[in-house]
Amino acid sequence: MTFAKTSALVCSALLALTLAGCNNANTKPDADSASTPAPKAYSGPAVTVASSVPYDKDSNATESVRKECALDTRLPEFIEESAKSQGVQVVRGTASPHGKGRVLVMEIVNVHGTAGGAWSGAKSVTIGGKLYDNGKLIGSFTARRMSGGGAFGGYKSTCAILGRCVQALGSDVAEFLAKPTMDAKIGDL
């Protein structure tokens, strides 16, 4: 094998590792997944999600992470984007547990994101949420995603790595919205 072919294979492998990142990092394919039909699309009411998710007072999110990474506003965007593939309509607005219709109330519970990108260690984001239907609690979850940034992680900022985690959480929450349960542990939990 020539040097050029070997280099191309190595680059392809590194690209695949980079793209793997935080999404489904700790999930294994189900042996029966090839034979199971695709889940039926959600046909319930739209879900209201806050436009900005508050940080818990003990979240450990530094002031620079809060200001520079915009995790609080990116999370609802990623949930809305991912919910479409689940057949769930998400409306961003004011999310009150006493609101009409389906309302998801969330909080960023913990952020582990020391400055220095991947050089300062893995990053994680933990969130909690409660789903209400006309004021009645119908589901709850705790979710966490962790990432070291994937291949070339050392060249990614802390915000980029935390953003990957929040994007994966958006997908996790969208799946939860389609099939809510009580006390669900999702993501890397």
Question: Is residue 88 domain-resident?
Answer: yes
Phi, psi dihedrals of residue 26, rounded to the nearest 5°: -115, 25
Comparison of pLDDT for 171 and 39, the residue scoring more = 171
In a domain? residue 7 = no
- Is the torsion defined by CA of 153, 154, 156, 157 positive or negative? positive
Question: Over the stretch 119-146, which tens digit does the pLDDT of each residue have?
Answer: 456 789 999 999 999 999 999 999 999 9
Q: Which helix (H) or strand (E) holds 82?
A: helix 71-86
**Structural domain contains residue 131:** yes
Average pLDDT, the chain: 79
Residue 55 belongs to a domain with what CATH number?
3.40.50.10610
Q: Residue 148's domain spans which residues? A: 44-187
- Checking if the pLDDT of 176 tops 90, the result is yes
Distance CA 77, CA 65 (A): 18
- Model pTM above 0.95: no
Q: Would you tell me how many other CB atoms lie within 10 Å of the CB of residue 80?
A: 19
pLDDT at position 152, please? 46
Does residue 3 fall inside a structural domain?
no
Per residue in 48-87, pLDDT (tens digit) is 999 999 999 999 999 999 999 999 999 999 999 999 999 9
Has residue 70 been placed in a domain? yes
Total domains present in the chain: 1
For the stretch 161-171, pLDDT in tens is 999 999 999 99
Kind and range of the H or E run holding 75: helix 71-86
Judge whether 69 lies within some domain: yes
Sheet containing 136-147, strands listed edge to edge, beginning at the edge strand earlier in sequence:
90-93, 47-50, 102-112, 123-133, 136-147, 184-187
In a domain, 73, yes or no: yes
pLDDT-based confidence at 35, cuts 50/70/90? very low
Q: Examine the pLDDT at 115 and tell me if it is beyond 60.
A: no
- How confident is residue 45, by pLDDT bands cut at 50, 70 and 90? confident
Across residues 158-163, what is the average pLDDT? 90
